[in-house]
């Protein structure tokens, strides 16, 4: 949980991702990243969390296409980060 708290603190203080929600799910952790009226949910597999340090996980959540897609679409996005890579799922309205 220390790693998760470090991620949340970094996201809230060093990026424009101000509304961070986190919950523990079976098999992983789910983060909601909210920015400019857009939201996306990112599910990070427990194995990825166990094998990565907090900085790498933070970069994963703020890097490349995950937050970019949050900003570029009004549609809810759901991302799953697994040891095999990132999977995108569109789930409009499911996590509102």
**Tens-level pLDDT at each residue, the chain (96 residues):** 788 887 777 767 765 655 567 888 888 888 877 656 666 777 888 888 888 887 787 777 766 445 555 555 545 556 667 677 666 555 444 443
Rounded to two decimals, what is the model's pTM? 0.63
What the block records as the tokens of 49 is: 């969390």
Q: Could you tell me how far CA 68 lies from the centroid of its own chain? A: 12
Residue 31, burial from CB neighbour count under 10 angstroms (0-12, 13-18, 19+): buried
| Residue pLDDT, tens place only, 24-44 | 888 888 887 765 666 677 788
Residue 52 DSSP symbol = S
Domain ranges of the chain: 2-90
């Amino acid at each position: 949980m220390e790693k998760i708290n470090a991620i949340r603190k970094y996201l809230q203080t060093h990026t424009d991702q101000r509304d961070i929600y986190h919950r523990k799910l079976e098999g992983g952790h789910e983060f909601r990243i909210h920015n400019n009226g857009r939201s996306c949910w990112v599910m990070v597999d427990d194995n990825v969390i166990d094998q990565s340090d907090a900085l790498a996980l933070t970069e994963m959540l703020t890097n490349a296409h995950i937050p970019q897609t949050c900003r570029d679409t009004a549609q809810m996005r759901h991302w799953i980060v697994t040891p095999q890579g990132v999977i995108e799922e569109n789930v409009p309205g499911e996590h509102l």
